[in-house]
Amino acid sequence: MRYLKFLFFLALPGLAPVMLTAQQSQPTPYLPAHAEILQRYRNMQRLDTITRRTVFRHNVDANWLPDGNAFWYRADNKDSTKTYYLVNALTGKKEVITDTAKIANLSGKTTGPRPFQHREPSRWESFATDSISPDKQWVATSIQGNVYIRSLKDGSLTPFTHDGDTAKDYYGALAWAPDSKHLVGYRIHPVEDSAVYYVLTSVPGTSRGQLRSQPYKQPGDPFTTYEMYVFNPVAKTTIKVNTPIIDFFDTPVLHWRHADNRYFLYEKPDRGHQRFRIIEVDATNGNTRTVLEEKTTTFIYESRIYTHYLPETNELLWTSEKDGWQHLYLVNTLTGEIKNEVTKGDWVVRDIDSVDAVKREIWFRGSGRNNGEDPYFIHYYRIRFDGSKLLDLTPATGNHLVFFSPDKKFYIDKYSQVNVPPVNELRRTGDGKLITTLEKADVSAWQATGVPFPVPFAAKGRDGKTDIWGIMCRPSNMDPNKQYPVVENIYAGPQDAYVPKSFMSYYSDMQALADLGFIVVQIDGMGTANRSKAFHDVCWKNLVDAGFPDRMLWIKALARQYSFVDTSRVGLYGTSAGGQNALGGLLFHPEFYKAAVASCGCHDNRVDKQWWNEQWMGYPLDKHYEEQSNITNAGKLQGNLLLIVGEADTNVPPESTYRVIDALIKKGKTFEFLPVPGMGHSDGGPYGRIKRRDFFVQHLLKATPPDRNINE
């Protein structure tokens, strides 16, 4: 018998502290009788109902007055009443508005808040076939696959190419220089993507299944290619640019030199995601040179590259992980020289919101900079181009969301944590100074339901140094003298991180499962994004890893901290890449994971979409694609498995799941399968979630779920 060394259990928001004595024995496994599990299902449904609309005053939707120095907002109260406030942004003074006529009058004069977010234009875009020059002297067009330019002065039409073919290799994607002296276009070799198919089995009004198809590029499939040309409408010349064929993505955006439109820059990522270049083209002769180049032995996360061109000063703002962390750099576009690293340190730039070229300031979001807090918390910053005067606009501990006044003189900072309710503060943009706290969320009605907030938890990963972060949801009526099985909600897709960081004002699916008698966890293991480059690189040609070494250590550490966690009964569930991970847990780590529900999994990275899988698994395809396939490894299955797929999934082809089933059958394995007619890419929808809960109740709690055919 093992005795507890500690005399206390942590007091956490929403859960009363439970005192443990030094002589208390190890908790016993929670194995509910049938009547008890039925009561848990009823209680879960009750909690789902009574927790609705139990969090109040958690949001400030500011309506700014025309002068930009005041706004009004409405607060929803626990007693179903509403209070209207008028706020003087200069002083922070807040007064209650009771005159309904005044409220109506203010409503007609105000503008809403502006979220602090900015979308740069896509770095890849298609151009119209007919294109009028900026000086309105020419019209460029494609006729029967060839480039023609018509003079708007005399109407003359001049052909510039002759070998185009509308059906095979044609010219198009035309774009003028700002001074109208040059026209850039491409000889295009089109590739038609092969189709994937699925059958709709239950279409109303029909007696036969309906076959559907869609073009779908899979890893290794060819791309449409583009050869770059420059046309001169005055000299009537055609020049083939001395640059590699663009065989990955579409035609790039062209960035013309401001003072001299003779030159332009364009971006070229190589297929395989291991080289990124910015190339300069001399439009007068087609000569090129590489201005900026980045190479890596693993991968460059192409869709996270940020570039902002400053043609007036021949500069470029560019993000890179070249020093091991995602940071901003200022580049001289004439020489390719990095003038300075704008941001630096063991933290990451998450997103750029806006650039002020006049003040030479960048407004951005970052995480991991503040010691002692969750490294995923997003903070908002402002910094000078030269890296000076870095200002944290959101200094409070928590995950932040900022809303600016229309003129950006003020902003509302809303921040929270999964177990800390939201706070809304009014701050001054110039120096980030706090003017007043507008609202602190009222969660007393939620706490009265007895549903606990999630618990954030961190433990060391496989290297013994790096903190792995996650959350835990516990049963609302947890008995500390029992041990509850663990169920992990898994998604290890390398494109992001997934553990919630902000307060959730609703009864989540994880909490619903926990209230059936489970400890439900969610973890961001190595191989996911938003940490260091080394943390992310674990996924490279290694999606089978899925962070499992970190996840298992995290769950074991959780059990050492909390005696009610039972690591002998661990299950997991996931959707899409999470479905791949869920089945992977049983195939590659059966000593730890005992039951899994895998929904619409991309079980073989050769079957799934090209762009996602080549980004992480590389190009060209090699033996590791097959070696890491759940289909290839289906014969290793141990434990209990439920596969779910929607027959109308257009994201991950349904055959990804069916091929797993085929392999399992051929290996004589036992499993459960739920196909959902007419459903797309999903966890199975409401019915699928019911089956998932029942599955874990049956296999981890060893209890019989409700028999819904007799309305039990």
Structure confidence by residue, pLDDT tens digits, 149-160: 999 999 999 999
Percentages helix, strand, coil for the chain (3-state, rounded to 5) are 15, 35, 50
> Helices in 21-124 by DSSP H: which ranges?
34-50, 100-107
Q: How many residues does this entry show for the chain? A: 712
The CA distance from 566 to 554, in Å, is 13
105 vs 72, 110, 200, 225, 358, CA distance in Å?
11, 9, 54, 59, 38
Give the other-Cβ count within 10 Å of 402's Cβ: 24
> What is the structure's pLDDT at 106?
77
Is the model's pLDDT at 123 over the cut of 90?
A: no
pLDDT in tens, 441-489: 999 999 999 999 999 999 999 999 999 999 999 999 999 999 999 999 9
End-to-end CA distance of the chain: 39
The CA distance from 579 to 630, in Å, is 10
Which carries the bigger pLDDT value, residue 1 or residue 476?
476
Residues 6+ apart with CB under 8 A from 510: 454, 473, 489, 520, 522
Give percent of the chain above pLDDT 70. Answer: 93
pLDDT in tens, 134-146: 999 999 999 999 9
Residue 525 tokens, joined: 């293991």
> What is the structure's pLDDT at 592?
98
> What is the structure's pLDDT at 113?
57
> What is the structure's pLDDT at 395?
97
> What is the structure's pLDDT at 99?
84
Confidence of residue 110 (pLDDT cuts 50, 70, 90): low
Give the other-Cβ count within 10 Å of 529's Cβ: 19
The CA distance from 62 to 72, in Å, is 6
Is the model's pLDDT at 23 over the cut of 90?
A: no
β pairing state of 114-115 and 131-132: unpaired
At the topology level of CATH, where does 113-305 sit? Answer: Methanol Dehydrogenase; Chain A (2.140.10)
Count of helix runs (H) and strand runs (E) in the chain: 11, 40
Give percent of the chain above pLDDT 90. Answer: 91
> What is the structure's pLDDT at 104?
74
Bridge partners of 401, per DSSP, are 414
DSSP states of 605-628 as a string? TTTS-HHHHHHHH-SS--HHHHHT
- What dihedral do alpha carbons 25, 27, 33, 38 form, nearest 10°? 140
The CA distance from 120 to 105, in Å, is 37
DSSP states of 650-687 as a string? SSS-THHHHHHHHHHHHTT---EEEEETT--SSS-HHH
71 vs 94, 321, 411, CA distance in Å?
10, 41, 11
pLDDT in tens, 270-319: 999 999 999 999 999 999 999 999 999 999 999 999 999 999 999 999 99
The answer to whether the beta carbons of residues 211 and 197 sit under 8 Å apart is: yes
The CA distance from 676 to 679, in Å, is 6
Confidence of residue 122 (pLDDT cuts 50, 70, 90): low
305 vs 122, 267, 318, 321, CA distance in Å?
11, 11, 7, 9
Is the model's pLDDT at 14 over the cut of 50?
A: no
> What is the structure's pLDDT at 114?
57
Is the model's pLDDT at 374 over the cut of 50?
A: yes
The answer to whether the beta carbons of residues 681 and 652 sit under 8 Å apart is: yes
The CA distance from 692 to 177, in Å, is 58
Is the model's pLDDT at 407 over the cut of 50?
A: yes
DSSP states of 350-418 as a string? EEEEEEETTTTEEEEEEES-STTS-TT--EEEEEETTS---EES--SSSEEEEEE-TTSSEEEEEEEET
Half-sphere exposure of 241 (CA within 13 A, CB side): 28
Q: What angle do CA 367, 468, 652 make, to 5 degrees?
A: 85
The answer to whether the beta carbons of residues 151 and 101 sit under 8 Å apart is: no
Is the model's pLDDT at 3 over the cut of 60?
A: no
SS3 553: helix
The CA distance from 6 to 510, in Å, is 29
Residue 487 tokens, joined: 């169920």
The answer to whether the beta carbons of residues 542 and 673 sit under 8 Å apart is: no
> What is the structure's pLDDT at 1?
32
Bridge partners of 82, per DSSP, are 76
Distance, CA of 92 to chain centre: 36
Which carries the bigger pLDDT value, residue 99 or residue 233?
233
The CA distance from 36 to 34, in Å, is 5
> What is the structure's pLDDT at 12?
37
Which of these, 327, 272, 703, 268, lies nearest to 516 by C-alpha position? Answer: 703
Residue 560 tokens, joined: 């050492």
Sign of CA dihedral 341, 342, 348, 350: negative
The CA distance from 230 to 283, in Å, is 6
- DSSP classification of residue 526: B
- DSSP classification of residue 471: E
> What is the structure's pLDDT at 19?
38
The answer to whether the beta carbons of residues 441 and 428 sit under 8 Å apart is: no
pLDDT in tens, 523-575: 999 999 999 999 999 999 999 999 999 999 999 999 999 999 999 999 999 99
What residue segments make up the domains of the chain, in order of their start? 63-112, 113-305, 454-710
Give the other-Cβ count within 10 Å of 535's Cβ: 26
Is the model's pLDDT at 638 over the cut of 50?
A: yes
Burial category of 28 from C-beta neighbours within 10 Å (exposed 0-12, middle 13-18, buried 19 and up)? exposed
Specify the pTM. Answer: 0.93
Give the other-Cβ count within 10 Å of 35's Cβ: 9
> What is the structure's pLDDT at 166?
87
Confidence of residue 125 (pLDDT cuts 50, 70, 90): very low
Q: What angle do CA 652, 655, 660 make, to 5 degrees?
A: 105
516 vs 26, 173, 180, 433, 668, CA distance in Å?
22, 58, 69, 46, 32
Is the model's pLDDT at 11 over the cut of 80?
A: no
Which of these, 431, 308, 407, 303, lies nearest to 362 by C-alpha position? Answer: 308
Q: Do domains 113-305 and 454-710 have the same CATH topology?
A: no
pLDDT in tens, 582-622: 999 999 999 999 999 999 999 999 999 999 999 999 999 99
Is the model's pLDDT at 683 over the cut of 50?
A: yes
The CA distance from 70 to 90, in Å, is 8
Q: Return mean pLDDT, the chain.
A: 93
> What is the structure's pLDDT at 112?
62
405 vs 72, 111, 428, CA distance in Å?
12, 9, 10
Residue 245 tokens, joined: 């064929």
Give the CATH architecture of domain 454-710: 3-Layer(aba) Sandwich (3.40)
Instruction: Fill in the amino acid letter for 371.
Output: N
Question: H-helix or E-strand containing 642?
Answer: strand 640-646
